[in-house]
Homo-oligomer: A and B are copies of this chain.
Amino acid sequence: MTSAQQPVPARPTSRDVARAAGVSQATVSLVLGGKWPGRVSETTAQRVRDAAAEIGYRPNLAARSLRLGRTRTALLVVPALTNEFFARVYAGAAELAAEHGFGVVLYPSIDGTGPARDPFASARAALDGVIASSMAADALGALHGADLPLVMLDSDPSDTGPAAHVNLDIADGMRQVTDHLLGLGHRRFLHLASAVDTWTFAVRAGALHDALGEAGDATVRTVRAPLDVRAGREAAEQALSALGERPTAIICDDDILAAGACKAARRLGLRVPDELSVTGFDDLALATALEPELTTVRLPAERVGERGMEALLAVLDGRPAERDGLPVRLVVRGSTAPPPGRA
């Protein structure tokens, strides 16, 4: 380690700026913090700003956080970001956060696999609050213990622990799907459901059964699969090959499962939508990449992130957070049609 004696320029501090500008460190802090209307003259302020720019000063965020006790940082806890939905949630949250001078740091909860590391160790800064998806089940235990402001995304509103909930109107979305399919004349359904057992999927199942129950003469079978294409295909293929009258429509909890359902159909020689209708949920990029394009429910993922951040900011300010669900909309594309034998 003889080479460790490098003349590292040692990142400039506010004191260096002060020296360069010929003022005290406190003045630098005032000027750069924007708190100088009447405390520092304009000429001095300008001198300080010039000096800061010249020597390339950047405030040490660790020191600032320590001093202020707040970090303007939120932790977003989600399942793997490879799910486009959550990537978009993050984008929305980060966007709004930035507008308010906040940062968003991620804890990707790795689906419960892995050693379930400490979410707070993963966040490198101290946190002002947490926004968590109900799907990040493994991390939720640790979160409740930390008495930080907590905003839950798409979770059971009757859970009183969190400071706020941000929910999508999933039930309405599923009802739009069933109305659409019933209107086309479908009566025999397969519900390709997610194997994960969280509120958002429970709501899908509940709304689906409610709506089909009202129709009276509709029947539905349910199979569950993990959220990936292959699992969806296998489950759908098995269900479609089963004995008994074949369903004419598959309602999927997710576009990814719908993609699997489409592949299953093709394997069995069933044409979508003529012989089998398929619906998705989420409206991921995948939905329009497939052929035919998926009829699906568009979820405003970015808005979920924004609203989560809004709610957190509200809570931090002592304001009440909005509580109504975000509206969702059925997008009818090419994967649904009347069942075989109907116009």
Contact = CB atoms under 8 A, between A and B. Distances in A.
A35 interface: no
Contact of A91 (B80, B121, B230, B266): B80
Interface string A88-124: 1011001000100101011010000000010011111
Contacts of A318: 1, 3-4
A41 interface: no
A291 interface: yes
Contacts of A286: 285-286, 289
A82 B71 contact: no
A266 B291 contact: yes
A85 to B, nearest CB: 9
Interface size range on A against B: 35 or more
A316 interface: no
A222 interface: no
A1 B319 CA distance: 11
A71 B65 CA distance: 13
25 contacts: A60-B66, A61-B125, A61-B126, A62-B66, A73-B124, A81-B81, A81-B87, A82-B285, A84-B84, A90-B106, A90-B108, A94-B106, A101-B121, A103-B105, A103-B122, A103-B123, A124-B125, A229-B288, A256-B289, A266-B291, A285-B286, A286-B286, A290-B290, A290-B291, A291-B291
Nearest to A263: B291
Interface in A54-90: 56, 58, 60-63, 65-66, 71-73, 80-82, 84, 87-88, 90
A145 interface: yes
A228 interface: yes
A73 B82 CA distance: 22
A318 B117 CA distance: 28
Per CB-CB distance, the 8 closest pairs between chain A and chain B, nearest first, are A62-B65, A103-B124, A73-B124, A259-B289, A81-B87, A62-B66, A125-B125, A82-B87
